[in-house]
Amino acid sequence: MNVTGYSRVSTEEQAREGLSLEVQKIKIQQYCQLFDLRLVAECEDPGLSAKSLDRPGLQYALGCLRDGSAEGLVVLKLDRLTRSVADLELLLTEYFEERYKLISLNEQIDTRTAGGKLMLRLLGVVSQWERETIGERTAIALQHKKSQGQQLGGHGFGWRLIEGKRVPVEAEQAIIKKMRAMRHQGKSLQAIADWANEAGVRSLRGGKWYPKSISNILS
């Protein structure tokens, strides 16, 4: 059977899981050699997420199925192909239900069998359930922290986070008060930034002051 190999990584995934494109391609090549599958094309999408099927490498691989040059698609892991149950169902309906075959090595899925098609759908449903559950837990945890008065996110100039709560820094608050007074006097943002730089006022990160940073503080 003629097949197309497909590999994908996003920057975060490559760093976290070591699923480099080269590793995926080698494993797909080894599988095809072992099971006498003819690898007619190797397609890849470097640095792209699986949130959409609109990826050049994937579309080329699917095009190989449509034009008859390949009868199946081989991936190392199902999430290289998609992380969306809706997109998975679309791929099954339009490609892998009857006409073409999908093989995923890690999950040992082979849609040349009825059991393989069933397992593919089950894994997709479980994957979406896991993502939604994580999202719910995260939302509950953030809501609890907010109800306890904890500050979510970072802090700005004039403030520090202590045990999750924003606490004013008196010296920096005095500088903010001075900046506000200068602004009320008609001074431009650039003039206030120049004053802060000349006076040796340290920004939160220790860098220079700019009109945009002054604007952020005053707003």
∠ at Cα 208 (206, 209), nearest 5°?
Answer: 115
Catalytic residues: 10
- In angstroms, what is the C-alpha Rg of the chain? 27
Lowest mean pLDDT across 74-83, 164-173, 177-186 = 164-173
What's the CATH fold of domain 2-133? Rossmann fold (3.40.50)
pTM: 0.56
Say what the pLDDT of residue 122 is.
79
Say what the pLDDT of residue 184 is.
92
176's CB contacts (< 8 A; 6+ apart) are 157, 158, 217, 218
For the chain, what percent of residues have pLDDT higher than 90?
41
Span 183-201, average pLDDT: 91
Residue 40: CB atoms within 10 A of its CB come to 14
Residue 152 has pLDDT above 60, yes or no: no
What confidence tier does 150 reach under pLDDT thresholds 50, 70, 90? low
Cα–Cα distance, 214 to 208 (Å, whole number): 11
Q: Give yes or no for a contact between 10 and 48, defined as CB atoms under 8 angstroms apart.
A: yes
What confidence tier does 87 reach under pLDDT thresholds 50, 70, 90? confident
Tokens of 168: 């004013």
Say what the pLDDT of residue 13 is.
59
Question: Which residue would you say has higher pLDDT here, 143 or 127?
Answer: 143
CATH 3.40.50.1390 intervals, the chain? 2-133
Say what the pLDDT of residue 110 is.
87
